[in-house]
Structure 1
Amino acid sequence: MANLTIVANIVAQPDQVEFVKSELLKLIEITRTEEGCINYDLHQDNENPAHFVFYENWASEALLQTHLNNDHLAAYMKATEGAVASFTINRMTKLG
């Protein structure tokens, strides 16, 4: 099976950009050590600093699900409750 690519879009509330950014940065090191994590890269939009994108590749859907159920992600969700305007995850397949 091909690797699973994830594009996660996070948009912070306008007055919470730096807080959300700091919480997102905390996720990188621990997530990169997880089984099945191929890459986990955070980006910030140059035109809209409230918009963050994680570009991720995982070895399988099962290992992604393990990541999504980890304590550090739950802690992030709790810490940023009310500070995030929108959050979407797209599961993608590389075509070429």
Structure 2
Amino acid sequence: MTAQSSATPTPANGEQLTLIAFIRAKPGRGDELGRRLGTLVEPSRAEAGNINYDLHRSNDDPDVWVLYENWHAAADLASHFEQPYMKAFVAALPEVLEGEMDLRRCAMVTKVAA
């Protein structure tokens, strides 16, 4: 096996962007946060540029939620955050959110499995 270059790998899918959001509810507010997050799924999936938008709940902590999203390009994700329903969601987050959301933007570096 040869040594790999330390350069950043080139995304395998052009500009495709993955966003993984880790979101913690205030203690005891996990169900409410999940309900609110659930309302985002269908409109997000209907947006131009969305590949998938999936909501997950931690098996270990019911107050922790994860959104796994794929977008064709960073501009599509930027447009997503400008949608009125997203702005309303973000504005109401302090009611149920503990701390800050942990948003991780990632580029897929392997080809999609066949």
TM-score normalised by L of structure 1: 0.93
- Residue segments in structure 2 that go unaligned for 5+ positions in a row: 1-13
1:63 paired residue among 72, 76, 84: 76
Q: Name the residue aligned to 2:41.
A: 28
Q: CA deviation at 1:18?
A: 1.1
Name the larger-Rg structure: 2
Whether 2:66 is the aligned partner of 1:53: answer: yes
Q: Name the residue aligned to 1:10.
A: 23
Is residue 23–residue 80 contact of structure 1 (8 Å, CA) maintained in 2?
Answer: no
Query: How many residue pairs end up in the alignment?
Result: 96
Is residue 55–residue 67 contact of structure 2 (8 Å, CA) maintained in 1?
Answer: yes
Inter-partner Cα distance in structure 1 for 2:91 and 2:106: 27
TM-score normalised by L of structure 2: 0.79
Inter-partner Cα distance in structure 2 for 1:39 and 1:61: 14
- Residue segments in structure 1 that go unaligned for 5+ positions in a row: none
Inter-partner Cα distance in structure 2 for 1:78 and 1:93: 28
More strand by share: 1
Q: Name the residue aligned to 2:10.
A: none
C-alpha root-mean-square deviation of aligned residues, in Å? 1.1
Q: CA deviation at 1:15?
A: 2.2
Percent of aligned positions that are identical: 32
Whether 2:105 is the aligned partner of 1:91: answer: yes
Deviations 1:30-69 (A, max 9, x none): 1100000000000000001111111110000011100011
- Secondary structure of 2:66's match? strand
